[in-house]
Amino acid sequence: MRADSILDVLSKKVVLVEEDDLTLLVEIHDHLAQLRSGLDGPTAHPALEALAHAESLTEKLIQRSADDAAATLRDLRTRVDAIQRALGAAAGPAPATLSSQASDGPAVAQADHTGLLSTWLADCTHALNALEETLLAIESGVEVESHLTETRRKLHTLKGECGVLSLHTAQSVLHQAESAVDCAGSAPPGETTDALLAVVDWMRAYADRLGEAANAAPPDPDALLARLRTIPAGARPFAQAPERPPESHSANAPEDAPQPTEASGRQGAHVSFTVDPSMVDTLGEFLGEAREHLSRAEQALLELEQQPGEQELLNTVFRAFHTIKGVAGFMNLGPVVSLAHSVEFLLDAARAGKLALQPEHLSVVLQGRDLMDHMLSMMAGDAVPPIEIATLNALVAAIESLASGTPSTVPVPVSRDTHSDMTPPPPESAGDESPTMPTARQPGASPSSPPTVARQDVRRADQTVKVSTSRMDALVDMVGELVIGYQMIAQDPAIQTIAEQRSQRNLAMVGKIIRDLQEVSMSLRMVPIKGAFQRMARLVRDVSAKTGKRIEFRSEGDDVELDRNVVEEIADPLVHMVRNACDHGVEAADQRRAAGKPESGRITLRAFHSGGCIVVEIEDDGRGLSRDRILAKAIEKGIYAPDRPIAEISDAEVFDLVFLPGFSTAEKVTDISGRGVGMDVVRRNIEALRGKVEIRSTLGKGTVFSMRLPLTMAIIDGMVVRVGCERFVIPTLSIERTIIPKPQDLHTVAGYAEMALVRGDLLPIDDLAACLGRGQTATPAQSRVLVIVETKGGGAGSRACLAVDEIIGQQQVVIKSLGDAAPHVPGVSGGAILGDGRVALILDIAGVLRGAIAAAGQPSKEIAQ
Amino acid sequence: MRVLIIDDSKTMRSIVKSVIEPLGATAIEEAGDGKEALERAAAFRPDLVLVDWNMPIMSGLEFVVAFRATGSKTPVIMVTTEAEKPRVIEAIKAGVNNYAIKPFTPAGLTQIIESTLAKARSGARAA
Amino acid sequence: MAATHHHIQAIVDATRSVCEMMLRLPVSFTSPRLTSTQSHDVQGIVGLSGDATGSVTIGLDRASAEALATALVGAPIKCGSSHCDDAIGELTNLIVGAAKTRFPEPDVRIGCPRVESPSTRSNGSPDGAQVTAFSCSIGDATMHIEVALRSLKPLAADPHAA
């Protein structure tokens, strides 16, 4: 089979495969091996590494040794994508993509514009979170009206975005949701918010799928659509709106774009847009930007009504239309250009002082803005009514005539709402109507928004900047280098001998600035934990509704900040623990009553700083953990065998059993917490973050799950050890204990290998120096210190003694990547600068132990002699 | 559900049997090697086969190849100590649907049996 | 080269996991020592071939054999019955099978287990292989494990070997 046909088959299988489909996984493994052997040549092919990596990921799945099979599968898919690109580029024409299989996949993905989709997915998560928050606020009965408007707006925006991406199913779901909001009135029944929350969940599920494969099919929407349709019994103003926007609204519709000037005479003709397929990418960006500009312009226009002469506000509006015109011209969007041009023309006259802005000018500009917004919605594929070309032309003419000082032809703004029934008046009526007829947008008619407040909002929007994480990481990295560089200078003996006070003072000052800089750059990656907590509020609400338990949710320390990677990684464990607390922790109302507790349970999420760490706790006031039952269950399941009388086992040790693999998975599966993931996964996730999780519980009173997390992934707690003249940092988390061995604990097996007897367990002693390929040290074992290390996951060498020459101490070190110059060294995860300025390598214990086992297959020096 | 358990060790057969019985097995047939199993399978028509690898006369791997050659689509789980990657791949290529590593806990084996059956059912529906 | 501490550790780990998962009994080990083969009431032997050759023997007294067989099968078993031999054979098979997946050598194959009483015991250890023995207590039973191994991994791969 030729490479490109193998690739083709491979990419299809990778999309179809599930993590437990061993047969397909083995086939994929074969394809990867075939491709790799085909590339073996005198020079290393760039795709080789990706192939090898993909192969090992597949092997992990086949051997069921992946920590997180779903994540591994996702990773595999990404790798195969990369391989496809690398090989496709080398082989000339790109291999066939999978897009042809997709029936409802995003059009941009089909055109290989996955960039737009992934950008949208990232934003979508935030948008859905915000929407959910708004819905919860509606439920709590606070400012229902304004939150409803907000909900509608958010749904609408999402719908538009889905339209651009040709996610038609999502579009119709969101459309139906929007209609449901419209029908809800000012006091929505709980049913409506429930259904809308279901929409949020559906969208999340879809977004997740899209994140895995750009052409993923949406989840089945039928039940959800039916539910949305049945909500309101009353009138439904949008009932007639089409489920899907007609083709002519689509930005991709292959229609001519009649220029307004050409079509001015044609009554009833509609404005339409043609977008060059190569511009689809740009269109999404353009729509986003244009909307931002328009909302800024609107804000400024409203302020201008209060302060007519304000030049800066005028400039803001001008810039908005000017930019839109420029990009629209580039994209050949005729109608947008002509409208923007007319507004710009008017504003330019005002800026030049040729025109004193009157209320009617502002009013017509606002109309222009609204019509522009309407056109953008059309391009976004929203289900909005078409715009008659005559309408557009009339408005353009009106604006231009006003700009040139002939106000008599100003059309009358009819309505504020562009998306429902806004239809600028036809030209024949324009001249007859009075320009001063009151409208919602009449100058001075919006006293509810004082200009100062509005301006503050504008400014606040400018105060956050989106920066790519890679740039941020690069900055943090470079600051790290700077710190090291500074330390090297400051500790240089030649520098230290400088007695001159001024130099020393300056040096100290630079040091302080650098430390501050480091702190600030680290804080760039910090985000408040609030977002994660909010999701839990929702979870508690859903679970309590499902179980019929009344559970009150509280959170403390929302503002505590954590590294964003940490926040992302604890999301799943949090969900699991909160579910557990709702499902198993808090008792049913009657049980609570019987126990003399308030009927409604309480779950508290808490975040706080403690000793350089962040502690996140999930506390419930439920039944608490029963040590007898945990012990009985662990023993019954065969995952624990007590090694001493039960009474001597501490509570903490007993509670710890909950985290053993196999403890929670086989339990009675409930809809809520029985998801096949056990607490062992929770612990593994948290330990992967170099954190710890423990349980405190009082029977009958409640349980606290306490996670201790590092503030940032950039700093590690470690034990500094000396081996020969080198220093190494062993992560404290990997260390079980350290011992100075007594001679009777050391054993020589089969003549030369050393083992230590530690608490009834025989552990091999590995010379750390030998493991790292530094050769054996001369120090005899008896005078060395043994560090007992462990890695989670079991298997060979999961626990071992590392012999080192000396333990220097424990300290926090900043992790420095070794950079490209030192490619991956087995057993070493990074470097660190110690307090004295010396460099130490940070050890990856799992890697060290793997190295030790590999070395065991080779005879050591002693054997050879 | 009709289950065929193949293992040269009576002990292992009875351990596997104790796991499979609560899962709704209506009939259980045992065989001590691959050859015997092939002879029994024809008449017994199992819905699930659990087979050891390392057996005298005819190994589990040879059995699977021969069993698949008869055209049977019955799910087969290899219950084995052979956890190394090349062995696992070899078994799957021979036609094994899933594998369980000895030693196992009852819960662990149950989970593998259940997921194999679920996968076989959904595969049958799709086909 | 003979059994290294990594082979011993593999067997220790395997024994632990077999005892905990299939016997549900706690296990604790004693120090290993070099020894000549000893005789036991019941012995389960599994041979190894491939990159490492030799054998692993599990020796038990009658009471321990009964206790472990009973724990494995889940029903009372008398020592000396064929059922008991079968159970001890399977126990040996389980331990050695699980151990060999943890050996440093990539390709090791195990034979079918053989259960013997001392009178029929043949000398199973290959010439020149040293026997490493250690014991462990499993619940109330005591188990002796004897490892006679020779690794055939090519020594030439190591620069220090010359």
Q: What is the mean pLDDT of residues A182-192?
A: 68
User: In terms of CATH, what superfamily is C5-150?
Assistant: CheC-like (3.40.1550.10)
CB–CB of C93 and B104 under 8 A? Answer: no
Give the single-character DSSP code of C120.
Answer: G
Q: Give the nearest partner residue to A749 out of C8, C22, C158, using CB atoms.
A: C8
Find, in chain C, the residue whose alpha carbon is nearest to that of B88: C101
Query: Is the pLDDT confidence value at C97 over 70?
Result: yes
CB–CB of A639 and B111 under 8 A? Answer: no
pLDDT computed for residue A618 by the predictor:
93
Q: What is the DSSP string of A43-85?
A: S--THHHHHHHHHHHHHHHHTT--SSHHHHHHHHHHHHHHHHH
- CB-based contacts of B115, cutoff 8 Å, min separation 6: A20, B98
| Phi, psi of A179, rounded to the nearest 5 degrees | -60, -40
Find, in chain A, the residue whose alpha carbon is nearest to that of C157: A858
Closest CA to A600 of A608, A590, A609, A610: A590
Query: Is the pLDDT confidence value at A572 over 50?
Result: yes
Shortest CA gap A638–chain B (Å): 7
pLDDT computed for residue A102 by the predictor:
36
pLDDT computed for residue A239 by the predictor:
34
pLDDT computed for residue A461 by the predictor:
44
Q: What is the mean pLDDT of residues C128-141?
A: 77
Q: Model confidence at A856, in pLDDT bands (50, 70, 90)?
A: low
Residue A278: is it exposed, middle or buried by C-beta count within 10 angstroms (0-12/13-18/19+)?
A: exposed
Show which subunits contact B, needing at least 3 CB pairs below 8 angstroms. Answer: A, C
pLDDT computed for residue A645 by the predictor:
79
CB–CB of C22 and B104 under 8 A? Answer: yes
Closest CA to B40 of B5, B92, B91, B1: B5
Least confident of A140-149, A300-309, A775-784, A817-826: A817-826
Q: What is the mean pLDDT of residues A155-170?
A: 79
pLDDT computed for residue A33 by the predictor:
87
Is A853 in CB contact (< 8 Å) with chain C?
yes
Show which subunits contact C, needing at least 3 CB pairs below 8 angstroms. Answer: A, B
Query: Is the pLDDT confidence value at B117 over 70?
Result: yes
Quick count: other Cβ atoms within 10 Å of Cβ A279? Answer: 17
- Say how far apart CA C11 and CA A797 lie, in whole Å: 11
- Say how far apart CA A860 and CA A838 lie, in whole Å: 31
Q: What is the mean pLDDT of residues A842-854?
A: 75
Could you tell me what percent of chain A has a pLDDT over 70?
Answer: 74
Q: Which residue did the predictor score with more confidence, B39 or A431? A: B39
Closest CA to A336 of A295, A300, A377, A277: A377
Q: Model confidence at A266, in pLDDT bands (50, 70, 90)?
A: very low
pTM of the model: 0.42
Q: Give the nearest partner residue to A662 out of B83, B97, B108, using CB atoms.
A: B108
Q: What is the pLDDT of residues A203-216, one digit of tens each?
A: 988 888 888 877 77
Computed over every residue of chain A, the mean pLDDT equals: 73
CB–CB of A859 and C8 under 8 A? Answer: no
pLDDT computed for residue A107 by the predictor:
40
Q: Name the CA radius of gyration of chain A, rounded.
A: 33
- Say how far apart CA A573 and CA A539 lie, in whole Å: 13
Pair of tokens at residue A236: 């439904």
Strand partners, A554: A604
Query: Is the pLDDT confidence value at A456 over 60?
Result: no
Least confident of A380-394, A625-639, B49-63: A380-394
Q: What is the pLDDT of residues A631-667, one digit of tens each?
A: 888 888 777 877 777 888 888 888 888 888 777 643 4
Mutation for B interface: A20, A61, A668, A675, most B CBs within 10 A: A20
Is A750 in CB contact (< 8 Å) with chain C?
yes
Query: Is the pLDDT confidence value at A416 over 50?
Result: no
Q: What 3-state DSSP class applies to C138?
A: strand
Least confident of A66-75, A378-387, B79-88, B105-114: A378-387
Q: What is the pLDDT of residues A752-801, one digit of tens each?
A: 457 777 777 777 788 888 777 776 665 665 677 888 887 654 444 467 88
CB–CB of C97 and B82 under 8 A? Answer: yes
pLDDT computed for residue A221 by the predictor:
83
| Phi, psi of A607, rounded to the nearest 5 degrees | -130, 135
Q: What is the pLDDT of residues A355-378, one digit of tens each?
A: 777 777 888 888 888 888 888 888
Q: What is the mean pLDDT of residues A255-262?
A: 41
CB–CB of C26 and A643 under 8 A? Answer: yes
Q: Model confidence at B120, in pLDDT bands (50, 70, 90)?
A: confident
Q: Model confidence at A471, in pLDDT bands (50, 70, 90)?
A: confident
Shortest CA gap A745–chain C (Å): 9
pLDDT computed for residue A254 by the predictor:
40
Q: Model confidence at A118, in pLDDT bands (50, 70, 90)?
A: confident
- CB-based contacts of A132, cutoff 8 Å, min separation 6: A197, A200, A534, A535, A538
Find, in chain B, the residue whose alpha carbon is nearest to that of A23: B92
Q: What is the pLDDT of residues A61-95, one digit of tens each?
A: 888 888 788 888 888 888 888 787 777 654 444 33
- Say how far apart CA B69 and CA A304 lie, in whole Å: 84
Is A322 in CB contact (< 8 Å) with chain B?
no
| Contact (CB, 8 A) for A332 and A286 | no
Q: Which residue did the predictor score with more confidence, A438 or C60? A: C60
pLDDT computed for residue A530 by the predictor:
85
Q: Model confidence at A500, in pLDDT bands (50, 70, 90)?
A: confident
Least confident of A111-125, A279-293, A490-504, A635-649: A111-125
pLDDT computed for residue A8 by the predictor:
80
Domain coordinates in residue numbering, chain C = 5-150
State how beta strands A613-620 and A702-710 pair: antiparallel
pLDDT computed for residue B65 by the predictor:
94
Least confident of A46-60, A205-219, C106-120: C106-120
Query: Is the pLDDT confidence value at A249 over 60?
Result: no
Could you tell me what percent of chain A has a pLDDT over 90?
Answer: 3
Query: Is the pLDDT confidence value at A550 over 80?
Result: yes
Query: Is the pLDDT confidence value at A439 over 60?
Result: no
A 627-646: CB under 8 A from C: 635, 638-639, 641-643
Q: What is the mean pLDDT of residues A476-480?
A: 79
pLDDT computed for residue A419 by the predictor:
42
| Contact (CB, 8 A) for C148 and C125 | yes
Is C10 in CB contact (< 8 Å) with chain A?
yes
Q: Model confidence at B75, in pLDDT bands (50, 70, 90)?
A: very high
Is C123 in CB contact (< 8 Å) with chain B?
no
- Say how far apart CA C101 and CA C109 lie, in whole Å: 10
Residue A138 identity (one-letter amino acid): I
pLDDT computed for residue A797 by the predictor:
47
Residue B83 identity (one-letter amino acid): A
pLDDT computed for residue A821 by the predictor:
52
Winning range, highest mean pLDDT, from A32-36, B7-11, C158-162: B7-11
Q: What 3-state DSSP class applies to A323?
A: helix
CB–CB of C94 and B54 under 8 A? Answer: no
A 638-697: CB under 8 A from B: 638-639, 662, 665-666
Q: Which residue did the predictor score with more confidence, A771 or A134? A: A134
C-alpha triplet A593, A595, A601: angle, nearest 5°:
60
Domains, chain B, ranges and CATH? 2-126 (3.40.50.2300)
Query: Is the pLDDT confidence value at A234 over 60?
Result: no
pLDDT computed for residue A105 by the predictor:
42
Q: What is the mean pLDDT of residues A444-458?
A: 42
pLDDT computed for residue B48 by the predictor:
94
